[in-house]
Chain A
Amino acid sequence: AQKITQTQPGMFVQEKEAVTLDCTYDTSDQSYGLFWYKQPSSGEMIFLIYQGSYDEQNATEGRYSLNFQKARKSANLVISASQLGDSAMYFCAMRDLLAAGNKLTFGGGTRVLVKP
């Protein structure tokens, strides 16, 4: 079974500063994918970034980067140069890439509030 843990229920960050959101996972799967999604107050889920377990390089997408440490089973999201629009809930998720289905298992989320 897969489990995702996000230990930070909420955090403040100053505008233009970087913020790191923690995500640890537990799985016996050999090949898996890690995802981050953003959920603003409007409710929609926005895909941010993906990291495969066999990817040698950390994933980056614009101001988002994923700090993947496989041995520590962590997949932290780094948001650089925070903007007011980054205020939202952030969810870490994972998926077994070899399973027949593609279900995502989500963590409990971290609420980020960017201060001007």
Chain B
Amino acid sequence: GAVVSQHPSRVICKSGTSVKIECRSLDFQATTMFWYRQFPKQSLMLMATSNEGSKATYEQGVEKDKFLINHASLTLSTLTVTSAHPEDSSFYICSASHSGGTDTQYFGPGTRLTVL
């Protein structure tokens, strides 16, 4: 149990376009979802925390107008990278928690975004 999926697994887009990444909890209801970004050979950096039905909380330095997060249901959160640029190319990973505690974060497989 506790499976988290992400779609797409890979996406290539042109500079200036927007890209939407979905994160789904397949067999549990996720009250909280987290979005991370991972640069090559680097650690995961938390971008934002989203709770179902409320606005996401962004970490310092993360542009909320650039990275739009929607957590419309207990099983789905989306991250939209708006007007993507090559520097947005990265590995984006989501995690989901059904109780909100750090002991229950389950990670998705990640999405590789390449902006040309």
Q: Indicate, yes or no, whether A interacts with B.
A: no
Instruction: Give A residues with C-beta under 8 Å from B.
Output: none
